[in-house]
């Protein structure tokens, strides 16, 4: 039986996928360890199996210096995050493979993780996922066998002990750089810090936050994380998002509890004028937010949540001096 570090199997995987499974530690992991400023972004796969969706935004994704999150069916059915992560790897874009626990039990999750490691994918973002009623498949059954914190702990055991949750040994040297998500707007702050601490205790090497629109509120949250000693134990990366219009801002605020968009932002978008002007203003607001976030001491980076607008990433980075 082959194992992952068998030279013959490595050659077979490389021939099939074009990915070298013996690649060194991820660039993203190295940036976390070395203390550099991190810039990540998000890619939302579609339902196109020809690969044209990915190719059409590859130039924008290649401009991201650290790594690119590959979303896992956040709003409904799309190409699997594992497959899309592999396609990005083949284009020399380092992926952060996302897994939501909404859709899989621990058997399926561990199977996907072993497969991801065998394909050379080294970064993972652990999420519970939006409830299915917030997707385009509201009649689907959810699973939630484990939550995101338990998933992080599972990955840590697989990486540190080299075994699955049932004790089965993993051949080939499993190693995954696991991260989690935090919502700076969740109240009360004490509960927020408790949940964040649990994720870091479980083994989260990095934390990407939900989109920040209120700098003062984020600063309060980050100060609490610093006081709790969390910022010295994990890399906190602040999320930002370009809003396309005032209507989009209102829709996100009303439908999803993790979006906290001040009314001043909505009014500024309205005042910009027509749809093109509002989109430009949204990019400008996003760049201004990044510049303010970069001044927060101890913040380790920026995560651009594209919301499917990957083509806007280079413009945002240029405007913010990234």
Mean pLDDT of 216-238: 97
In 3D, which of 24, 21, 44, 32 has the Cα closest to residue 90?
21
Q: Mind listing the pLDDT tens digit for each residue in 102-152?
A: 999 999 999 999 999 999 999 999 999 777 777 778 888 888 899 999 999
- 283-304 core/surface letters (b: 16 or more CB in 10 A; e: else): bbbbbebbebbeeeeebbbbbb
What's the pLDDT at 300?
A: 97
Q: How far apart are CA 173 and CA 318, in angstroms?
A: 39
Residue at 57 is within a domain = yes
pLDDT digits (tens, 9 = 90+) for 293-311: 999 999 999 999 988 899 9
User: 182 versus 321: which is more confidently predicted?
Assistant: 182
292 is in which domain, residue-wise?
7-319
In a domain, 277, yes or no: yes
Environment class of 188 (CB within 10 Å of its CB; exposed 0-12, middle 13-18, buried 19+): exposed
Residue 5: pLDDT above 70? no
Residue 260 located in a structural domain: yes
Per-residue confidence band for 49, with pLDDT thresholds at 50, 70 and 90: confident
Q: For residue 169, give the DSSP letter.
A: B
Q: What pLDDT is stored for residue 307 in this prediction?
A: 87
Question: Is residue 288 helix, strand or coil?
Answer: helix
Q: Is the peptide bond before 53 cis (omega within 30 degrees of 0)?
A: no
Dihedral sign (CA 249, 142, 110, 106): positive
User: Residue 236: its pLDDT value, please?
Assistant: 98
Q: How many domains does the chain have?
A: 1
Which CATH number belongs to the domain containing residue 129 in this structure? 3.20.20.220
pLDDT of residue 18: 52
| Contact (Cβ atoms closer than 8 angstroms) between residue 209 and residue 236 | yes
Q: Residue 191 pLDDT more than 90? A: yes
The 10s digit of each residue's pLDDT in 267-303 is: 999 999 999 999 999 999 999 999 999 999 999 999 9
Please tell me the predicted confidence (pLDDT) of residue 243: 95
Query: Shortest CA distance to 60 belongs to which of 76, 48, 72, 44?
Result: 44
| 3-state SS assignment for residue 198 | helix
Measured CA distances, 219 to 45, 95, 120, 287, 304 (Å)? 32, 29, 36, 17, 18
Q: Is residue 2 part of a domain?
A: no
Taking each helix axis as running N to C, give the angle between helix 215-227 and helix 275-294, from 0 to 180 degrees, rounded to the nearest 10. Answer: 30
Answering whether pTM is above 0.85, one says: yes
pLDDT at residue 6 above 70?
Answer: no
Task: Please give the mean pLDDT across all residues of the chain.
Answer: 90
Contact 237, 303 (CB under 8 A): yes
Q: How would residue 206 be classed by pLDDT, with cut points 50, 70 and 90? A: very high
């Amino acid at each position: 039986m082959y194992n992952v570090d068998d030279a013959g199997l490595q050659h077979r995987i490389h021939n099939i996928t074009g990915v070298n499974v013996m690649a060194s530690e991820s660039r993203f992991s190295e940036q976390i360890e070395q203390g550099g400023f991190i810039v990540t972004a998000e890619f939302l796969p579609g339902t196109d199996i020809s690969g044209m969706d990915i190719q059409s935004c590859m130039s924008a994704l290649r401009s991201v210096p650290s790594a690119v999150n590959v979303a896992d069916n956040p709003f409904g059915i799309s190409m699997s995050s594992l497959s899309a992560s592999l396609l990005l790897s083949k284009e020399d874009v380092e992926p952060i493979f996302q897994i939501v626990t909404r859709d899989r039990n621990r058997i399926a999750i561990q199977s996907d993780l072993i497969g991801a490691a065998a394909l050379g994918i080294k970064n993972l973002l652990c999420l519970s996922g939006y409830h299915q009623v917030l997707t385009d498949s509201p009649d689907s059954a959810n699973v939630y066998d484990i939550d995101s914190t338990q998933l992080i702990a599972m990955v840590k055991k697989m990486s540190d002990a080299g075994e699955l949750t049932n004790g089965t040994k993993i051949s080939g040297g499993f190693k995954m750089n696991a991260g989690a998500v935090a919502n700076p707007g969740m109240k009360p702050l004490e509960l927020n810090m408790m949940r964040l601490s649990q994720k870091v205790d479980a083994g989260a090497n990095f934390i990407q936050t939900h989109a920040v629109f209120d700098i003062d509120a984020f600063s309060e949250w980050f100060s609490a994380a610093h006081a709790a000693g969390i910022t010295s134990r994990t890399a906190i990366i602040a999320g930002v998002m370009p809003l396309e219009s005032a209507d989009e801002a209102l829709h996100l605020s009303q439908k999803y509890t993790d979006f906290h968009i001040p009314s001043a932002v909505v009014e500024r978008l309205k005042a910009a004028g027509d749809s093109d002007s509002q989109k430009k203003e949204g990019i400008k607001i996003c760049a201004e937010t990044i510049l303010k976030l970069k001044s927060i001491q101890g913040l380790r980076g920026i995560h651009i949540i594209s919301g499917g607008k990957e083509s806007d990433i280079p413009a945002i980075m240029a405007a913010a001096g990234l």
